[in-house]
Structure 1
C-alpha cells in the first residue's frame, strides 16, 4: 500500500467521522429533549405522555420496584413520591443510529409504596427511535455507595 493511498484513506475516515459526529450531535439534542419531556411527565404523573413515550413492554427496574410492562408501572405511579432528583451529565452511546443507551448517576430522595428509595444510583436507559420519535424501552437504577 502506497503512502498516498494510506493518506487518502485516513482523510476519508476523518471526513466521515466528522459527518457522523455532527449527525449524532443533532440526534443527541433531540434525544435529550425527549428524556427531559419524559422526566417531567413522571414528575407531573402525566400518564398519557408516559404512555406515548414508553414502549408497551417497557421494563423498569430499581432496588425499590420492578415492572415488566408499561401498564404495570402506570398503575402504581401514584405510589412514587420524589422530593429530590439531581442527575449528573448524561453519557450517550448509539449502538445504531436509531438506538441509544444513556448512562448517568443521580441523587434521589423519595419513597415508593412508603419505602425509602436508594439515595445514590447509576441509571441506564435504553431508547429506540420509532416512526421518527424517541421511545424509552427500559430504565434501570443500580445503587451506588
Structure 2
C-alpha cells in the first residue's frame, strides 16, 4: 500500500469548530461521493507510529519523505504522549476513511491539542488516496 494523490490540503481549526458540529468534507476521487470527517477532540485518530500495524512501512516512509509528518528529534513529549512522529507541535494522528459508495480508502493525517497556552487547535495536514 502507498500514498496516492492528495485530495484535500492542510488547514487549521479551532476546537470550537468541532465542538459546534464542524466537519471536514471533500469528494471521493473515484466516484465523487461526499466524504465527511468528523473529529472528536479526545477520541479521534490513531498515532502515526501504529500505521505499520495496518499497512507496511512504505506509507510511513512516504509520510516522512514528503514532510507530511516529522520525526520528533528533540525527544519532547507531545500533547498525547506518543510523540515519535509529530506535526508542528502536536503528535501526528491518522484515520482511514472509506467511501460508502465505492469502498475506496483514503488516509487523513492530523493532530489535536494545545499548540500554545490557551490555544487549542486541530492541525489538519490533508487526505490522500491509498493505492495498492
Q: Over alpha carbons, which structure has the higher Rg?
A: 1
Greater fraction helix: 1
Bigger RCO (CA 8 Å, 6+ sep): 2
**Please, what TM-score do these two structures have when normalized by structure 2?**
0.32
**Please, what TM-score do these two structures have when normalized by structure 1?**
0.30
